[in-house]
Amino acid sequence: NAGVTQTPKFRVLKTGQSMTLLCAQDMNHEYMYWYRQDPGMGLRLIHYSVGEGTTAKGEVPDGYNVSRLKKQNFLLGLESAAPSQTSVYFCASRPGTGEFYGYTFGSGTRLTVV
Amino acid sequence: AQRVTQPEKLLSVFKGAPVELKCNYSYSGSPELFWYVQYSRQRLQLLLRHISRESIKGFTADLNKGETSFHLKKPFAQEEDSAMYYCALDNYGQNFVFGPGTRLSVLP
Higher pLDDT, B16 or B49: B16
Are A42 and A109 a contacting pair, CB within 8 Å?
Answer: no
Indicate the SS3 state at residue A27: coil
When pLDDT is averaged across residues B51-70 and rounded to a whole number, the result is 86
pLDDT at B90: 87
For residues B24 and A101, the model is more confident at B24
**Residue scoring higher pLDDT (A55 or A2):** A55
Cβ separation A107–B43 shorter than 8 A? yes
Rounded to an integer, what distance in angstroms lies between the CA atom of residue B74 and that of residue B57? 9
Separation between Cα atoms, residue B50 and residue A99, nearest integer Å: 8
State how far the alpha carbon of A81 is from the alpha carbons of A11, A18, A19, A87, A89, in Å: 12, 6, 8, 12, 14
Confidence at residue B79, expressed as pLDDT on a 0 to 100 scale: 96
- A69: pLDDT confidence band, cut at 50, 70 and 90? very high
Q: How confident is the model at residue A71 (pLDDT cuts 50, 70, 90)?
A: very high
Number of helices (H) and strands (E) in chain B: give both, helices first. 0, 11
pLDDT at B62: 86
Chains A, B: CB contacts within 8 A come to 59
Residue B44 has pLDDT above 80, yes or no: yes
Nearest Cα residue in chain A from B42: A107
pLDDT band at A99 (very low <50, low <70, confident <90, very high): low
pLDDT of residue A98: 65
Interchain contact, B32 vs A99, CB within 8 Å: yes
Rounded CA separation B34/B52 (Å): 10
